[in-house]
Amino acid sequence: MFDGNWRAAVDRGLTPVGHSLRKTGITPDVITIIGIVMSAVAAVTIGAGYLRVGFLFLLLTGIPDALDGAVARASGSGSSRGAFFDSVSDRLTDALLFGGVAWHLASTEPGRIMMLPVAIMGLAMFVSYQRAKAESLGYDAKGGIMERAERIIVLAFALLFPELLLGTLWVMLVLTAITAGQRFVKVWRQASQDRPVPAPRVRRQPRVRTTEPLWRQRMRERRATRSS
């Protein structure tokens, strides 16, 4: 939802910042690595129970995530390698953050409620896989009510108000599952309209069968050889 409505406007707003950072000599890969480090610190902080401090580090994680693309566009260094690294870092960041939440719940809540953020992380990975696989096949799988940007925003809200953490996680789980269904239906409809046309059948030429015995054919061939 964020990608479809506000991504272009945000990218245009960050373009001047990207040009300024490019002049300092910093590369998009370095910014991406800084974001991974920030997410790891946020995960440890959340796991230790300092949720509001984790909220601050989560905000710091979002800054490099927004700026690496701006620097790449400003420097003209965008490439498939950079896009791959950025996508992988996003998945790693999600795993670290929700892993930190699971660590916190395992230490403070009874039962198996720690599996709630693990389930959200699994669905988030599934949503991401749907888009990657669809785009590799030439289809569009963007969109949905709970994409990555929305998950980060909702998680930040849950960390800012720890008393609402469990309820917010349940809402996030439901909305992420709905997003997975939305993307599946979207790609399914595109693929259904693009059914392959069956190849035309090739008619085989009928075989000419002879009823003459083989020994008679050979005798005729020998006579023809002698007469020549």
Catalytic residue, chosen from 65, 68, 86, 90, is 90
At residue 66, the pLDDT reads 80
Domain covering 2-192: architecture: Up-down Bundle (1.20)
Are 97 and 39 a contacting pair, CB within 8 Å?
yes
Residue among 101, 94, 154 at smallest CA distance from 123: 94
Q: Is 90 one of the annotated active-site residues of the chain?
A: yes
What are 166-216's pLDDT values in tens digits?
999 999 999 999 999 999 999 999 999 866 555 556 566 555 555 556 666
Q: Where are the domains of the chain?
A: 2-192
At residue 198, the pLDDT reads 56
Residue 69 has pLDDT above 90, yes or no: no
101 vs 198 pLDDT, higher one: 101
| Non-local CB neighbours of 201 within 8 Å, separated by 6+ positions | none
Are 86 and 68 a contacting pair, CB within 8 Å?
yes
